[in-house]
Structure 1
Amino acid sequence: MRASLSPFLHGLLVTAVAASLDRQKIRRQASEDPEGPVEPDTASDCTYFYTTRDASDNCTHIEQWSGISHEDFVKWNPSVKPDCSGINIGNSYCIEVNWGIPPPTTSSTAPTSTATPKPSPTQPGLIDTCTKFYRAVPGDYCIKIANDFGNFTFADFLAWNPAVGADCSRLLAGWYYCVEAPKPPATTTTSSPPPTETCNPTAPTPTQPVAICGCTKWHEIVSGDTCSVIIQRYGLDGEDFYRWNSNVGGGCELLLLGYYVCVGV
């Protein structure tokens, strides 16, 4: 004796069979090749079509089944019109273009600058063509920064960062400074003489930066020189030497080979 299905299970079975038949019907309605007429204004790169069978095949049904927006459906099938009044039963409509591959995006914005982004904060007058920046820390001197990097001079640093001042007294910890920039092209013209020291007009060049004004005697730094060697050689008081040449560093680590230091006032 065959067991009978309960009304609830029977209803589920009927629903499942109907859904299966409906899916099969839908699959037959969509294909790479149109089954029905295609309007002339349909997207030329359409790669998948949906063929309408009855009045239930409206925009909402087609868009939900194919997972596309109403805007795209109307754009690919202008004949249906935004209000979907142009759909004709039996016609095939585009539901995919270019095999679903998004077109390359184009930007109408202005081209991005290739210059190195300027960090913040920086002082006014910083060179526009700077390609590398350094954030100053407490205890930094301009000469120390130049020596630490080793690929530019004190004069370069001042030219790139004029706001620090000729005596480097306005170098600010925590601010960014230029430590690399393109060198100007070499020219065949005679180079200008180095600028004259304003407070020591008869000083030899180049002099150690921030030498005391009124210096009357100078010493050129040679290999092997240290502050102690110079102080001993000229019989100087150490405090005087460091006061006259305040930018040699507290540990004399900023002596510049070939530069002149003050040894007499």
Structure 2
Amino acid sequence: MPSPTRADLLPNLGMLKPLANGTRKDCVQYAEAPLELGSLNGTMTYDCQDIASLYDVTVDDLVEWNPDLAVTPGLESACEFQGGFRYCVSPDERRWPDMTEYCVRETVAEPGWSCADYAFWFGLNITHLNEWNPNIGRDCENYQTAGNNGCDQFVNNIKIPQARFVAWNPSVGSDCSGVVKNYDYCVAIPSWQPPA
């Protein structure tokens, strides 16, 4: 009988640290402290304000997603990540806030689909689809999908001219190729509101 041999071990990928108390479990990205502020100077931080800036969120967002930040004081500032724990820095915001908690299958609507298309494809009637997802509206009036152009969802659904949208959100680019999912964009200013 041949003698057992040791299998090659996987590369050391590191162990996942536990989530901080109360941290959301549905996040698409977590961070552990300390975090590097800049690769050039090697400065590390535990501070919530610094970390919020790194992930383009607010300190209030971090505290909402990680309630322990509000009750566990830091050493140098009132809000600090603690070493040895993971914290949510980017939640999965694709879910409607009032979607039924009993959902066993989720999907993202495809560009160009109507509410009726979506219901048909999954073998549902619109009444059930609406009961389970009340935010889409009784007649699916709040159901929206993006078209081929990244600005279509704003131009078609909010009725903002594309040139105005691009002027207020220059990072999207003139062809709207820079529209990023789950980012907030300006669609009104005090002197201009979208048509009712």
Q: Which has the larger radius of gyration?
A: 1
TM-score after normalising by structure 1: 0.24
Higher RCO (Cα < 8 Å, 6 or more apart):
2
TM-score after normalising by structure 2: 0.32
